[in-house]
Amino acid sequence: MKCLFWFLLLVGSLSATADEGQPIFSDDFENGSRQSPPPGWTMWGDKKFQVAADFTRDTSCAHGGAASFRIHHPMDTRGYIVSSPDRAIHPKPAMVYTVSFWARADKPGTALFQWTAYRTISPFEDAASPGAFKFDAGGEWKEFTFSVREGLDLFADQSRFLLLTFHAAAKAREERTLWLDDVRVTERPDPNPIRLLNDTTLTHDALQHRLRPGERLEFTVDATKRLRRATQEAGGVSFHRVCGWTGQPYNKKGDYTLAPELETAIREMRLPMTRFYAVGDEPFGVEAAIDKLAEVLRRVGVAQEHCVVEFEEQGARTKLSPETWARGVGYALRHGYKFHHWEIANEPYSAMWGDGQAFPTSDAFIEHFKAVSRAVRKADPKARLGMDIHHNDVKWGNYLLKQLAGDYNFVAPHYYCGADLHRLPFEEIALTENYRMLDRALRVNALLRAYNPRRETYQYDTEWGMICSAPGGREADDEGRNANIIGTLHRAVRLIYYAREGILRGASGWQMLNRLDAPGFGILSQEAPEKRFMLYWLYYYFNRHVGEWALATDGVAPFYEPQRQADREQLGGPLTPVLATLSKDRRAMYLVIANGSWTRTVPCRVRLKNFPAKSAAGILLTANDLNGKPLLARKEDAVSDFPVTCDGGGMTCEIPPHAVVFVTLSGK
């Protein structure tokens, strides 16, 4: 009996160890070293924040033993600590990785742990990091535990090196001291492995530039060589909501407030599509909101069938019942409205930055989407249902695409670029950031095809622009460079590729109505209804220069090759991307050319085949001040006639730096 007792005790002990996992990393800071930071840990981030005195072994405060790791975060700094690369964890397929540690702080507040992943560490090449976890530390020692799953949170063949990363303060402006002790990582088999497709290794379409490297812009356009129908819906602009944040187009009482001058201005943009959200969250009810939405579209000349409609409030802090969704969709159908595209929840992944209480996990959103989709399809069997995904997060992107395959018709990834508008070269903002994001969109298309092999699915980019960083902690909404010539060239390049390459069904940039003290996404403002932001004129002319058919451009252009950065995928491409389209009646050919260089003028020669041009007219959009105000005092401050020479068989001109050129070639 005694032997049986010890045998069972041993088996139980082994089972508990197996469930807990095999230890693969540990540090209790008891090595006696006086080195700062302690051996096995490395200061990370900007060099100016790498202060050794802020990362020390502390023998005056410990959870267990005689010492702990003290991490001090001074106010308005961004220094942090990672486990040294030579101690990196190497993930294996179908395993769960759990980190546990004890922590306390000098005052209550939020700290941050994250897994930082690299594809290689010599040199450093970023991989998708599997998770960031905020935790609240106070005056008492407390244990924290976080887990990630290979195949769901990360891929072993991509995130090959995992480093443990600690920020003493979740916000740069906060001062806090954090103590860590008894850090431990375990590895165990995943009892319910989920095998997602790895979009970085999945074969996807390459981004087509349609031009080869050369010294000048020189290409041939043959009116008979059609690539595809041009994506005319690329040039949309999103409204905020029916009862918008600026008080337009309706106020909270339900009164129509949009000034006649702005109605006319929007109508003259010739918007091919738009998008409204929070239509079911208005104070006057979902039915009245749908009526008011239809009235706005009538006034500004946008077809209802080209409007994506979302019902729920923008921060994903609350959610609407499936019954409310069905009631609104059924009401629209019974009243003869032609709304077809219903986007279920705006950015449900908002929990990633502290909102999103309605969907704390992607599984919570999956449950909601399925319930709403059943209710909506019952109300309207022909409804087209979409969901927002986060294109850079596995759980809020790839995982949703797999788990909801068959339920969605389209996805709305919101392809905002994140760029430092005061430090990055102009060329990288205008060109490289777009090429990187366009490649990302093509990877999403590959996932859509793989997860929905016998079903048509597509993308609508229902919000896009730049989420930029700026001095003083300014938000993108407040940053003028986001909407002046810098933001204008960034958007022009994206619009060219969106319209030409058929990557998605349509796109609506953020946002139509703005306040003058928040010009970062400026298009129009009721505070100055007689004036226009620079971005307004981009959309105004772009939508007049997208024909029925996208045409091939066979030739060369100067290329821009960015300097390699470890933390960012760098993709080169033409300095002067081109969109060439043919009108439906074949009597006009349109060219849109963006010059993404701040300093270089590019000579241009276009040869025409099967299109005898009789005349040509050009428009130039540019400005010479990197800090120029995005709201123009007058149109002529950015827009002028552009001289082109047309000789029947072709066209010549010079494309000025940091400019967008719009050309109309008229045939017979």
Rounded to an integer, what distance in angstroms lies between the CA atom of residue 415 and that of residue 467?
10
pLDDT at 351: 83
pLDDT at 3: 43
CATH for the 20-189 domain, from 3.90.930.12, 2.60.120.260, 3.40.250.10, 2.40.50.140: 2.60.120.260
The answer, as to whether pTM is greater than 0.95, is no
pLDDT at 126: 84
Dihedral sign for Cα 536, 539, 542, 544, please. Answer: negative
Instruction: Quick: pLDDT tens for 413-460.
Output: 999 998 889 889 999 999 999 999 999 999 999 999 999 999 999 999
Dihedral sign for Cα 500, 502, 505, 510, please. Answer: negative
pLDDT at 123: 86
pLDDT at 431: 97
pLDDT at 8: 35
Superfamily of domain 551-666: Golgi alpha-mannosidase II (2.60.40.1180)
For 618, phi then psi, to 5°, come to -130, 155
The closest alpha carbon to 585, from 668, 496, 503, belongs to 668
- Domain positions in the chain are 20-189, 551-666
Please determine whether the domains at 20-189 and 551-666 fall in the same fold group of CATH. no
Instruction: Quick: pLDDT tens for 331-356.
Output: 999 999 999 999 999 999 998 777 78
CA dist 220 to 169, 434, 545, 578, Å?
56, 25, 18, 12
pLDDT at 566: 46
DSSP line for 185-202? EEEEE-SS------TTTS
pLDDT at 564: 62
Angle of CA points 129, 135, 141, to nearest 5°: 130
Burial class for 246, CB neighbours closer than 10 Å (0-12, 13-18, 19+)? buried
Under-50 pLDDT residues of the chain: 1-18, 566-567
